[in-house]
Every structure is written in C-alpha cells, then in structure tokens.
Structure 1
C-alpha cells in the first residue's frame, strides 16, 4: 500500500512540475536555514558543558559603586576563593586564573614568538576544569615554580610532537626564565568560555601583592558540593565582606562600617554566575574572553522556525489552492469506495515525499554553505559537525515532521470533499477565496516585514556607531605590537619611524580606546585622607606627550603633557566625565590624591588638563570617568599615517624593526579593525538578518507566485470573457492583484508595532543609539509591496495579454 501511495505521489510531482519546483525549492531553503541555525544554536548552548560537574561550577563576580562610578566586573580579589573554601564546607574546591600578564615571549630556535593568551592558574586547575591530559602527571600540574603545562598545539609548535614532558621553554626577554613542561593537555574545545595554550603557575607571578581583598584582578571559580543552592550560598558573602574586606578598607580610608559605606550611595556586592551561563548571559567588564548573548540564540531560533514555517505555509497554500484540480480525483475515489483515511495517507505521502526531496537538496546546500556561514557566524563547523551520531535521529525525523506539518491541513481539507458536490462542479467558487489561506499569506509577509525592518534598524545602528564623533580618530592608525621587546631601543624605533614619509605622528599606546587593550582602575580622592565621601574609582591610563595629538583628541582646558615640565610626572589630565563626577567646574590646578598600595603612600596629583570625553569602551556603555597620567606604556606603538600606499610604508617599518630586533616577529594591525571587533556580534547579526530577511521574502514571493499562477489558470475563461467585453489589460491586472496587495498592506499594519517593540528592546543594550525613524517602516513597507507587486504582476500581465480566442474556443 505504501509503495502505491509513493508511486502516485511521484507521478503527481512530475505532472505538476512548476508547483512541485516551488514547493521543493521553498522547503529546501527553509530546511537549509533551519539546519545552519540549529548548528549555531546547539553550539552556543553547548559552551562549557564538556567539563565534568559543570553545573556545580560558578564564577565569583564583583559589583562596586564608589564615588558615583559603577563597575560590574567578572573578576574578584585573589584571596576570595581560598577564604570561601576555608570558611565554608559547601565549597569543594576553587581555582584562580590570572590574565593580566597574558603576553609572553617564547623562544623557538634563534627567534622569539609572542603568545598572546597565556594564563596563570592554581595547582587546583584540574580539580575544577578537568582538562584531558595527554602526557604527564595530572596530580602535580602547576605545583612548582618555573613549570608549565601546554596544549597539544603548543607542543607541536615548539617541539614538533606532543612528547614534550620534561623539556623546557625559554620565556621572557630581559630576564629569561627556563620553564619545564610537566604536562601536555588536549586542545581546549572551541566551546569553552576561555582559551589558552599555556598555563603558568601562580608561584611565578612576581609583580603582584597578594592577600589584598581590595584589588580585583582574578577570575575565581568555585565548585560547590552536590545539593548546594548557589543563591542561598551567595547570602554568606556579606559575612566575608564584614570579616575580611572591611578591616583592609579601614586601613586606607576613614570608614566605620559597611552601613556607613552604603549611606554614601556606595555598595560592594559579590555574586555567582553559573559556569554554563557565562558565555550567553554574562556581559560584565573584564570578561576573560568574548561572550555571546542569549538574545541572539532566541532570535535565531525563532527566525529558523519561522523560515521553516513559511516554507510549510507555501505548501499548504498551493495544495489547498489547487484543490480543484484534485477534487474530481477525490470524488471518483470516494464513489469507488476509497475510505477517507486512505485519501489522507495518499496526500500525506505526497507531502512527506516532497519534504524528503527538499531535505536532500537542503543537505547539499548546507554542506556547500558551511564555510561561508562559518565566516559570517565566527564558527568552525565542518561537514562532520552536521553528521555527528547524536544528530542522526534528528536528521532522519526532521523531514518527516516537516512533511506531516506541511501536509496535515491539505490532507484533511482535500479528503473532506463530498463526491456529489465535486462531480456537479459546485466547489470552484469557493476554491479561489479562503480566509485561512489569506491568513497564512499575511503571516508570511508579517514575518518578512519584521525581518526587513529589523535589518534596516540594525544597519542604522552600525552606521551610527561608525560615524559618531568618538572623541578620537580611529582611522589610519597603524598599531605595532610587542614594541616593549625593543627595550632601550623602543624610543629610537618610534622616532625613526616617525621621520618616514607618510607618518604624521607616533605614540606609545599600551592603552587604547578599543577592544583587547589594557585597562587600569584606581581609587582617587579629593583629599589626602580617604573616606566614603571624597573617594571614587576611575580609569587611569599612562600616556606620553604624543598620545593626545596622535589620536586627535581635544584638550578643552589646560594643556597636554610636555617634556618641558618636569612636574608632569605628578600631573594628571581628566576627561569631562571625571571632572563632572568630582564636581570641578574648572579642574585646572586642582589636587587629586591616589593611594599606591600602602596606607602611608599617598601621592598628590595636579590637574593640568581637561580632555573632551571619548568612547574608550563599547557604546553599549556610558562614558565613565578617566584620567591620563604621564608615563610610557610601550607594549604597543601607534603611528598616525597618511599615505595612499600603506603596504609600502608597512614594509619600510618592518625593515626598520628587523634592524633593532631581528629575532622578534613583526606584528601589526590597524586601529579601526580593533574598533570593529567591539561590534563584531552586531555586524554578524546584521549580515545574518539581511540574509534571512532576503530568504524570507523570497520564500513568501515563491508562494505568492504559485498562488497567482494557479488563480490565473482558474480564471482563464473569465479573463477571456472580460477582454471580449472590452476590459483593459490594466483592469485585469488590478482584478488579479488587488486581493494579494491588500494582504501585504494588512501585514505591514501588523508587523510595524512588532518590529518597533523588538528593535526598541535590542537598542536598550546601547547607551548611545540611533533613533527609530518612521521612514524606516515606510521604506520597508514600500520595498515589500513593490516586490509583491512585481511577483503578482508578472503572472497577472501574462494572463491579461493572453488571446481570448484561445481561452474561449473550447466553450
């Protein structure tokens, strides 16, 4: 019986080639998008799940408001984890990761390579994050100074094989240290929220004063025992604050109690973020790696379902619209004794067969598109990713589910015809009009319009970010990294390059207002004795006298740093937000005080300048207080260039680099690339939204084309009669098109408020954002209306131009 159903289904597909193509092609597009988005969503949701007991691992966060400046940080103080383990039995283990000294110069042969993502970790690392150790003793990792563990990729890179245990690496330039490799671990999976190829021991952190509860520089993870409610455990942090943090705070400032601290509008809170929530639900400053956003998972999931649903709707619409062609078949079958269940199975078989044919095409398209999708989505999927054993049941069942979903309504609709009405031809008038079919068409265009409007607004926001006055110049800034490796020659290198044609200026720029640059928070006070009323936190960056002119920043009052003023070593330049926070109308000449880590070591700083606010972090955040101090952070050097042949200039700079450091690699990038990196997620969303919006419109128009083609066939004789009676081509086109265009207009009315709400919610993540203009909705509506009009008009005009003699001669 099933074989017979499939044979008849195949014959019907071949008999109606145009409608079969529209159905199969539309479903294939929908299934392709669904498969790609499913890969993306499953990967996003899988982050950190490979770690054993991941559901019991949490990161400690810090929330600080002090002197009006607020910070939500992904880091905490170095003794916090050990204190929790010592005082509370609920904590099974803890581990700290330290990333402040993440760059390392590693010697390979006669040259040095730069490793940009090294981490220091406690010897408890594997107790919390059980990496797969390929070689070495997992119980002794990072227990001794001058040891390290490396990934298999690093082992291959430096030793040519994973047999690296017992071998040494020379680390550092000025005071090189020999580190012994004690273990090699399998490369960390790409779906871990932090990545590194090298772990160094905590005992080799030499430039940090430990046991300081007031300094927040460590990523601290705790593993709670089974059955512990982390929300209840968080409540014990207040005890830790009173018992350990308050005494240290009293040594630095006049503070009686935490209640006294809070009365000034301040707070110090600690919280836990589940490990499995970090990648998608954490957006704190100083995240250990780039995170994503759960919003995008929700959005993509909904878009994938809607695309598939729209493709299914096309099948429903065409199947029900063409029901007149199958009506007599149904009538005769019923008269001959065929049961309704058999008819349902017949029509359902056609639907499932169509779905499986579309699925095969979708698989081929998906495999071909995976490299391009990886580039857009920032993933590393392969064909094997699609055919993992756990996905095979899903791949087998998906087309079956889609086939049943798409064919369910048409099957019951077609099998419900009464034989006597069918054979008397009493159904034709009802086939052309269907409220249900109109509702489905409207839904398709509502979805299309929401996506088109959203895409317009996303690109407007990206354009706003690119063209907003940032308070500095990001264009034509060439950043050379690792210049501190030049040691005593870094200033000579800077000045030599500065003399080259096409180089306008140069500065040491360890701190830059772009992603992945250094940041430094410090506590300042308006008085020598710190208290909760006169103290506040702000960013403090070390810059040289060339920094402000190189980045085209604007000095509003006072002056820039200068070698001519020996007192500038104790000078400070504030941004507008810092001056506003402090309450200085004219800050020039005013004093600020900073504590250098010792209650008795308070340094007085004199404000020498006021710089215009500039966006030193993402536009998702408001501009915070910041100051410049005179110094030299020489890890990178930034050059302002002005040349039509930048690659020629770069080769000249590289040649100069090789003169001073022939053993060191020459690395560079442009500052606008780092700026764009801050908004990579939004750019990907924009690209993907544009693609999905286009595909949604295409699928909807395919269905519309099929419907208008069928209706034109059904009304061929009516059109011929109207033409004989004098109807114009335009009036016939209008007759065939107006109902569909009304549906598009109705879709616009429904879609506009939905798109407005969705985009208003999305834009709330930005402190600086574009406005949602009315013209965006109007343009989107006109675009969709024109596309629908072109789709409908082609077939309508074709029908209107038909010779009426051909359509009437059979009467």
Structure 2
C-alpha cells in the first residue's frame, strides 16, 4: 500500500511540474533557513561546554558602585581565588588569568618580530581548571616556574615552522625571554577567551594582594554537589574580612559605613557556560554574544518554517479544484477516506524529502556567505553531528505531516456526488483558515521588515553621531614602544610629511579597551563621600588638538607651562562630580600613587574638555581625566591628503628606518570605531536576508491563495464579464480581498514589532526614537509586494474567455 502511495505521488508530481517546483522550492528555502539558523544557534549555545568540568567552573565577577560610577566587571581582585581555595573546602581549584594584550614576539636570535595579540598570564593550575590539551609538555609543571610559556600549535608554526618548539626560547618586546615548556592545541572557537601564549603568572609584574583593585579574571571549580548559589553567601564574610581593612585604610570607612553611603561592593559567580550569551559585564576577554539574538533567530527559524508550511497548504488547497474529480472517482470506486489521507500525506512527505535534499544543497552553497556575515566557522559537516543528524531525519517527515495535514483532510472530505457534478463546497471556515494563514505570513514579514529598518537606523545613528572628537582620517600606529627612545623622533619625522596635520603619542585612544578606574578626591578630603571613580589617561601636548576635541573651559596642555606635568584636564562628567564647572579651574585633586594606598599624587585642574564617547554607546559617558605622561603605546596622526595609500606608505618608510625588523601595524580610527558595532551590523544583515526570504515564501503562499480564489470564482468572473464588467474592475475585485488581509497583518504586526525593537534599543544609552513612518514604510512594502504577487493571477482571471467558464452551465 505504501509503495502504491508513493508511486501515485510521483506520477502526480510529474504531471504538474510547475506546481511541484514552486512548492518544493518554497519548502526548500524554509528548510534551508531553518538549518542555517539551527547551526548558528547550536554554535552559540556550545560555548565553553568542551571543558570536562564545565558544569562546575565559575567566574568571579565584581559589582561595585562607588565615586559616581556603577561598575559591573568580569574581573576581580587578585587574592580572591587563592583565598577561597584556602578558606573554603567546597573549592576544588582556582585559576587566575591576566590579559597582557599585544606584544612583539620573536624566537631568540631572530631580528624580526611578529605582533601577537592573544597573550595571557596564567596560574600553573590553568590546566587543572580548563580542558586545554597539550601535545607536548607536562601540564602539571609547564607554568610552575618563572620565565616559562605554553604556546598554541598555530603560534609554534608561526615562530618555529616545522621545528619542535619545546625547549626553544621566545623573546617578548625585545627584552624578556621565556622558555617554551608546552605546546597546546589551538583553543576552540567556541570559547569565551582565546590565547596563543600562556605566560607563567610568576612573571606578571603586579602588586599582589590588592583587594580594592580588580584586574584579574578569576575562576574556581566547585566540588561535586556544591550549589553555587549557596556558596555565594560566603562572599559577604570574605568582603568583611579581607576587603574591609583595606577600605578602612584607603577611605577611612568601614564596609558598613560604605554601604550606608549608598555604595556597593559585591562578588558573585557566573557559570562559565553562561558567559558568552548572558554576560553584560565590563572588561570581557572578547565581545560577548547575546542570548536575545539566539531567541530572535530561533523564533525567525520557526516562523520561516511555519510560513513555508503555510505556503505548502495554500498551494495544495489551491489545486483542490483540479483534484476534486480524482477524489470523487476514487471514492466511488471504493477508496476509504483514510486511504486518501494516506495518499496525500505520502505526496506531502515525498515533496518534503525532495525539499530537504534541495535545502541541503542550498545550505552548502550559502554557508560561506553566512559565515562571513555572522563571523562564524560553521560547516555543512556539523549537520552530521550526533545532535543534529536526527533532525535531518525527523524534520522532513515532521514538516511533511504538518504541512500536508490540512490539505489531506480538506481534499479527502470532498463528497463524490458534488464533485462529479462540478460543485465543490468551500465552507466559510476553510476560507477563514486560509486567510488567517496568509495574515500570519505577512504579519511575520512586516515584523522582520520593521526590525531590519530599526537595526540599520540605529547603526547609522551610531556611525554619524557627534562623538565629541573627530575620528575621520586619523591614522593610529600600534606598538610605538618598539621604537624605544626614538618614539618622539618618529613623530617629528612624520609631522614633516606633506598631508600630516598633527600627531600625538599616547597609550589611550577613545575606542573601547580594557581600562580601569582610579579613585580621585579633592585635595585633603580622602573620604568616600568625596570620592570620584575616574579613568586617568596619559597623553602628550598634542593629544586634544590631534583628535579634534573641544576645550570648553580653561586651556589645553602647553609646552610653555612646565607645571603641566602635574596638571589634569577633566571631561564634563568628572567636572560635575567634583562640584561643577564653576570654580573648577585651579582646583587640586589627588589620587593614590602606589599600590599600598599610602601615598598620593596631586594634580591641578587646568581645563575642561567637552564630553566625548570613549566607550560603547550602550553606556553613558563616565568620568575621565587627561594627564601628562610619556606613554608610547600608540601614535595618532591626523591626515589631510587625497592619496592616503601613498601617505601611509611614506609613514611606513619612516617607521622602517627607525625600527627595522619591527612590524608596522596601523589602522584608521574610523575602522576601529565601526568594529565596536560589528555584532549589530551582522544582526542587521542576517535579519535583512531572512526578511527577504520570509517575504519570498509568503508571496508564494499568497500566489497559491490567489490561484485558489481565482479558480473558485471562475464562473462569477465569467458572468460579470458577460454583464459588462471591465478587466480593471475585476482585477480590483479580486485584489481588494488580499489587501484587506495585508492590512490586518500590518495592524497586528505593528505593536508587536514596536515592543520587540523597544526592548532591543534599551541596551543602548544613546538610541534612536521609533518613528511612525517605519511602520508605514513596512506596510507599504508589504502591500506593494502583495499587489505584485496577486496581480498575475488577477489579470489572468480577468482576461479569461467567459465562454470557457460558462459553457458547462
């Protein structure tokens, strides 16, 4: 029987090639979208789950409110991990990571450096906590001694080629030598941190034991059966015992007084498997993902699949008139309804299997493009994993049964006498259901259109917002410290080049990076009530001018004033926290000058710079001070040239003259700023792509319903034409019903889209308003698409010869 079902199904599909292609293509597009998004979602959910102890590893986060700043950080004090291991038997192990950032690295004896970005100091226990397999070396001893380093296989190939890296020496920043004591496999891409170099923590030049400084990523492994939420309750005692004495020494307040003043100092645990998607912490290793996008794209996958199934239903029922006589004849010859349902279900499953094969081909072709826009490394082979392979088997059958259920029950319900006489009873209930399905399709399409428009408007707003500084045509050159004492010489040589307007050497630029705040006080008022939590950037005399910042009060740094070595320029936020701009010029402020919190350095306020954005626009502008300091981390040059590549080449030549063998690494500030919002740009592109595909599938469904309605009203159209109705009036008659459905979809979709996008925009401190015209534009686009879709069937029906439709009467 089953064989007969499929034999007849193949015959019917071959008989109606055009109908079959449209239906299979629509399903294939829906299934391909679903599979792509499934790969994306599975990859996002897999982060950090490769660690053997992933279910017991927790990161210690810090939550601090002090000095006008509310900081939720992924880092914590350096002693917290060892202290928890020592005081609490529930802690099995701990590890600290201290990100070093970028260093110049070369093998001993080589004259050429490579710029390496993923360098981290780590405790020797790193291999006890994380699953980072070594291909060479002993994980128990690899980082137990000073001047040792474990490198990744990729790093070993870069620096030593095919030679064995074990026992070799690497020189960092042309001065510090480390012996390679281990080679580890490259860290998986689905990890919340990546490192090609793990340096012994014993070499980290850091003032240890500072409970008030948060600079380390600290992780603990809890023993089996320990509830981490219960364990968190111990942090109050830890803070009282260890943080309290240092706070009392620094600001003269007990922790109780500290809290009563409205301040906060807390630790809490985050499961390592939650970090990538759920962390909203500052100073993350890498930009985190967002669980909202997982929910959004999961919903999009489901909706697109539903739209494809609805499309199938509408196309199948649109062909009902052509198959009505078949059903009637088969019923007269003795076929049971169950047999007819089985027949139509078999056709549906067969079409879905064919659609799945086509969908897999589409996925294989689309994955490179999808990886580019989503910044992923997905592969078609991932679908063959033990988790996803069952989906490939079950999905076509499930979709086939779902999509074919309504047409099967609908077609098998025809009464043989009625259909053989040419009368098909289409109830209001059936029409209402199909209309409701079309409304659902276009409702989802409108929501996707609105979402795409708002995402792109927010990105455009960010890209064109006045940031308080000029980022256009500013060239930044990294690792200027490689020049040593010739950094200033390099700056002056570049400034002599035509097209270079100004230049500055500083380790601080107004782009996001791992920076920490310090506590500042009015001179002689070291008290928590007067504290201001503020970043202090070391800059040179030309920094403000080069970046196009605006001094709104006082003056800029000047070489004419030797006292500027102890001067500070505050931004407007810092000036407000210190009592306002009135009387701020000449005011003296102070900050701790050493890790022991016993000595201070005092600065005199000489100016106030207009607030500028130095972090993501998701956050409000914090307090900032600019101080004179010789920091040669990076050089910035404002350029004015119509031939930028030639000018950059000239600058590179100056670099090579002064720093032979040192990599010339540069970027334009505009690019660095745009990189902050790559995630949103990717989301916008993905949303636009899937919105277009959803509309395409919805149009196929609308095409099916238009064909169905035209078939049902063939005789009515014939009568109207005989009575003198024009082609235009008939087209309008057939089209207005569909326009009503689209209008209903727009009315339902608008409030849903408004709410969803309002929630998304809440993540930004600086954001656009959602204007009414966005919904109007989405509605117009949906309406135009609907009209273009139904116009073909409407024109075809209106031009039909009435004799053909009425000759059977």
Q: TM-score range by the shorter chain?
A: over 0.9
2:328 counterpart residue number: 331
Distance change (3 Å), C-alpha of 1:240 and 1:83:
same
2:549 counterpart residue number: 553
Distance change (3 Å), C-alpha of 1:432 and 1:237:
closer
1:466 pairs, out of 463, 466, 486, with 463
Q: How far apart, CA to CA, are the structure 1 residues paired with 2:320 and 2:11?
A: 17
The 8 Å contact of residues 553 and 612 in structure 1, kept in 2 or not, is answered as yes
Q: Single out whichever of 27-36 and 331-340 deviates more from structure 2.
A: 331-340
By how many angstroms is 1:96 displaced?
0.1
1:695 pairs, out of 674, 693, 696, with 693
The 8 Å contact of residues 574 and 609 in structure 1, kept in 2 or not, is answered as yes
By how many angstroms is 1:729 displaced?
1.3
2:226 counterpart residue number: 228
Distance change (3 Å), C-alpha of 1:599 and 1:220:
closer
By how many angstroms is 1:629 displaced?
0.8
Distance change (3 Å), C-alpha of 1:590 and 1:313:
same
Residues 1:356 and 2:372 aligned together: no
2:198 counterpart residue number: 199
By how many angstroms is 1:805 displaced?
4.5
By how many angstroms is 1:433 displaced?
6.1
Q: Deviations over 1:744-770 (max 9, x none)?
A: 000011000000000111111011100
Match runs of 1:87-166 below 5 Å: 87-100=87-100, 102-107=102-107, 109-161=110-162, 163-166=164-167
1:526 pairs, out of 522, 525, 542, with 522
Residues 1:283 and 2:280 aligned together: yes
The 8 Å contact of residues 73 and 283 in structure 2, kept in 1 or not, is answered as yes
The 8 Å contact of residues 512 and 518 in structure 1, kept in 2 or not, is answered as no
Give the superposed CA RMSD.
Answer: 1.6
Q: Deviations over 1:71-119 (max 9, x none)?
A: 1110001001000010101110000000145434334732011111100
Q: How far apart, CA to CA, are the structure 2 residues paired with 1:444 and 1:757?
A: 19
1:789 counterpart residue number: 787
The 8 Å contact of residues 106 and 115 in structure 1, kept in 2 or not, is answered as no
Q: How far apart, CA to CA, are the structure 2 residues paired with 1:419 and 1:512?
A: 80
2:186 counterpart residue number: 187
The 8 Å contact of residues 102 and 115 in structure 2, kept in 1 or not, is answered as no
1:506 counterpart residue number: 503
By how many angstroms is 1:518 displaced?
5.1
Q: How far apart, CA to CA, are the structure 1 residues paired with 2:685 and 2:588?
A: 50
Q: How far apart, CA to CA, are the structure 2 residues paired with 1:378 and 1:130?
A: 24
By how many angstroms is 1:328 displaced?
2.3
The 8 Å contact of residues 25 and 355 in structure 2, kept in 1 or not, is answered as yes
The 8 Å contact of residues 551 and 608 in structure 2, kept in 1 or not, is answered as yes
Unaligned runs of 5+ in 1: none
Distance change (3 Å), C-alpha of 1:8 and 1:808:
same
Q: Secondary structure at the match of 1:165?
A: coil
2:385 counterpart residue number: 388
Match runs of 1:309-708 below 5 Å: 309-430=306-427, 434-515=431-512, 517=513, 519-586=515-582, 587-597=584-594, 598-708=596-706
The 8 Å contact of residues 32 and 360 in structure 2, kept in 1 or not, is answered as yes
Q: How far apart, CA to CA, are the structure 2 residues paired with 1:127 and 1:136?
A: 14
The 8 Å contact of residues 317 and 708 in structure 2, kept in 1 or not, is answered as no
By how many angstroms is 1:810 displaced?
6.2
The 8 Å contact of residues 62 and 74 in structure 2, kept in 1 or not, is answered as yes
Q: How far apart, CA to CA, are the structure 2 residues paired with 1:105 and 1:494?
A: 24
Q: How far apart, CA to CA, are the structure 2 residues paired with 1:25 and 1:473?
A: 50
TM-score relative to the length of structure 2: 0.97
Q: How far apart, CA to CA, are the structure 1 residues paired with 2:516 and 2:53?
A: 34
Q: How far apart, CA to CA, are the structure 1 residues paired with 2:280 and 2:104?
A: 27
1:771 pairs, out of 769, 772, 793, with 769
2:251 counterpart residue number: 253
Q: How far apart, CA to CA, are the structure 1 residues paired with 2:686 and 2:597?
A: 54
Q: How far apart, CA to CA, are the structure 1 residues paired with 2:756 and 2:487?
A: 51
The 8 Å contact of residues 323 and 431 in structure 1, kept in 2 or not, is answered as no
By how many angstroms is 1:254 displaced?
1.4
The 8 Å contact of residues 76 and 217 in structure 1, kept in 2 or not, is answered as yes
Q: How many residues align?
A: 806
Residues 1:262 and 2:255 aligned together: no
1:11 counterpart residue number: 11
Unaligned runs of 5+ in 2: none
Q: How far apart, CA to CA, are the structure 2 residues paired with 1:137 and 1:503?
A: 53
Q: Deviating runs (4+, > 6 A) in structure 1?
A: none
Q: How far apart, CA to CA, are the structure 1 residues paired with 2:418 and 2:803?
A: 30
The 8 Å contact of residues 498 and 506 in structure 1, kept in 2 or not, is answered as yes
1:728 counterpart residue number: 726
By how many angstroms is 1:162 displaced?
7.1
Q: Single out whichever of 407-416 and 28-37 deviates more from structure 2.
A: 407-416
Q: Deviations over 1:295-331 (max 9, x none)?
A: 0000000000100110000111122232222222222
Q: How far apart, CA to CA, are the structure 2 residues paired with 1:550 and 1:787?
A: 50
Q: How far apart, CA to CA, are the structure 2 residues paired with 1:409 and 1:433?
A: 10
The 8 Å contact of residues 68 and 266 in structure 1, kept in 2 or not, is answered as no
By how many angstroms is 1:529 displaced?
4.4
By how many angstroms is 1:431 displaced?
8.5
Q: Single out whichever of 87-96 and 543-552 deviates more from structure 2.
A: 543-552
The 8 Å contact of residues 370 and 381 in structure 1, kept in 2 or not, is answered as yes
The 8 Å contact of residues 318 and 704 in structure 2, kept in 1 or not, is answered as no
TM-score relative to the length of structure 1: 0.97
The 8 Å contact of residues 511 and 518 in structure 1, kept in 2 or not, is answered as no
